[in-house]
Amino acid sequence: MGSTAVVRPERAVIGGSLEISRMINGLWQLAGGHDKHTDMAMAVNVMDNMQRGLDTFDMADHYGDAELVVGKHKEAKPASSKVTFTKWCPPENGIKTFENAEAAVDLARRRMNQDKIDLLQYHAWDFSDNTYLHNLHHLSKLQKQGKIGLIGLTNTDAAHLKLLLDTGFSIATNQIPTNVIDRRLTRGSLNQLCLDRDVGVLAYGTLLGGFLSEKWLGQPEPGNINELNWSLRKYLRFIWAAGGWVPFQTVLEALNTIAQRHGVSIAAVATRYVLDIPSVKAVIVGSRLSYDSEEYIDKNLEAFQLQLTSDDLALIHKAQEGLTDVPGDCGDEYRRPPFLTAAGDTSDHLAEIDKTKHVREAIANGKRVEYSSLSPWEPIAGYCRAVRTGNVIRVSGTTTNKLIPSLPAIGGKSARSQTVHILDIIENALKALDSSLSDVVRTRIMVRDENVCEEVSRAHGWVFKAAGVHPSNTFVTAGLIGDEMLVEIEAEAEVGSAKAGVLRI
């Protein structure tokens, strides 16, 4: 199929300086779930022989031997011009020290046999835990030391990306899933935000783990998800979230019609669709670096000899009418139900730890539980962040904070971003008291300037839409203490109040 002419991938620049291939070799398949072990010598040889402009590789600290393969290749070919990205995905252990961050980066550098990591991408599991802000500040220091070229993110929603940018963090990329059925990037605000703030999207899941191919056209839905490899398990959950197998097949049929029209594969059409999203700098295609990797190169590169016409796009959009929107924003699948992961939860990524058993025991014994956020003002003024008595939690008036002395208050001069961070702080307090945002029954919002009411309201609405509740609310202007503080919020919660569901009348 396709032209016999030599096809090379398009090129793009991220972070204003680093040139990359618009098709990146993703090495997640070296993490297991596809092959039992990595043939190191073969992987190094295949990586060396990859030609045609496929010179950019993406991996992570938990992708099995991926970083070691890169290191072995660098040892064998010290003059190689391969571009290599990795990720730091630390566990939720609350460690916030510079030494911990430096050790993680130095380990990656040793494994990859590199003085500098071209792009270090950070993944935060829980935005209500401010550890991620400390870690990104540490990475910025390591960037200044020359150990990191550019800093990127993975699976970060629009609100928290904006929060980081408004605070003054320099973010080059955001690696997120996007494809013809998962349209959160373009149906939400993330695409425009990335364009406005020059953050390049690195798109993965472009082929739904292999479901977007001729192999699955007209086929019945897999009967046993556990018989599939990790990628297919994960993306079958995306198909379910987008409406199920029948509307997915409708989209697949449309892609096949276009593929036949142009003489290319379904994968080429699906890939081109994503490449044409304005904020997308590159797509990431899985590579096992095995003996048959070369066989897939020509098919993958077909996307760069294809131009989708207005009729092609109209056919795709018509087929997409049968889909439902994947819930939430990009990355939410790792942080709240429905967990669109291979396991259907976060057990493959995080250890289950009961952090609030002592709270439940205290409440059962009739005790009052006071939670401190370690603010320096709490002991001075004699208050705490939140108090739980029985099933009732009252959260003190909360503003953003100047967590990092060298940066402005978190959220900068954006009332909307400050609101997002404030609600993160409140969520963290609720979690510490064995509760959640879904238990919130009342909020009180105070702003310095009534002109920010709409942006604050939109942030509040976004957070509680994700929580699935509409608390009662009071919104007033007030003379807030602290020149940088634009918003202050109080909250009250009743533990378990939404457990049985919500009736709206």
Over the stretch 206-239, which tens digit does the pLDDT of each residue have?
Answer: 999 999 999 999 999 999 999 998 889 999 999 9
Asked whether 452 and 415 are in contact (CB, 8 A), the reply is yes
36 is in which domain, residue-wise? 11-208+273-312
Residue 304 sits in the same domain as residue 434: no
Cis geometry, peptide bond prior to residue 177 (ω within 30 degrees of 0): no
Residue 469 sits in the same domain as residue 368: yes
- pLDDT greater than 60 at residue 179: yes
CA distance 335 to 126: 7
Reduce the DSSP state of residue 67 to 3 states and report it: helix
Domain count, the chain: 2
What is the average pLDDT across 75-101?
88
- Going 342 to 345 to 346 to 348, the CA torsion angle's sign is negative
Reduce the DSSP state of residue 454 to 3 states and report it: helix
Please give the single-letter amino acid code of residue 126: D
According to DSSP, the β-strands at 148-154 and 280-286 are unpaired
Reduce the DSSP state of residue 396 to 3 states and report it: strand
And the tokens for 447?
Answer: 């702003």
In sequence order, what are the beta bridge partners of 389? 368, 392
Please give the single-letter amino acid code of residue 163: L
Residue 196 sits in the same domain as residue 132: yes
Element (H, E) at 370: strand 368-371
Residue 110 sits in the same domain as residue 39: yes
And the tokens for 378?
Answer: 């709490």
Reduce the DSSP state of residue 432 to 3 states and report it: helix
pTM of the model: 0.94
User: Is 348 or 377 the better-scoring residue by pLDDT?
Assistant: 377
CATH number for the domain spanning 366: value is 3.30.1330.40
And the tokens for 476?
Answer: 């007033």
Contacts of 370 (CB under 8 A, 6+ apart): 384, 386, 387
Query: What pLDDT, on a 0 to 100 scale, did the predictor assign at position 93?
Result: 87
User: Is 33 or 309 the better-scoring residue by pLDDT?
Assistant: 309
Q: For residue 243, is it left (φ>0), alpha (ψ between -120 and 50) or beta?
A: left
Query: What pLDDT, on a 0 to 100 scale, did the predictor assign at position 54?
Result: 86
In sequence order, what are the beta bridge partners of 217? none
Strands (E) in 2-143, as ranges, are 11-14, 18-21, 23-26, 56-58, 83-88, 117-122
Residue 384 sits in the same domain as residue 290: no
Work out the pLDDT band at 94, boundaries 50, 70, 90: confident
CA 146 to chain centre: 25
Query: What pLDDT, on a 0 to 100 scale, did the predictor assign at position 34?
Result: 45
Residue 477 sits in the same domain as residue 365: yes
Domain presence at residue 346 = no
CA distance 376 to 393: 22
Residue 102 sits in the same domain as residue 200: yes
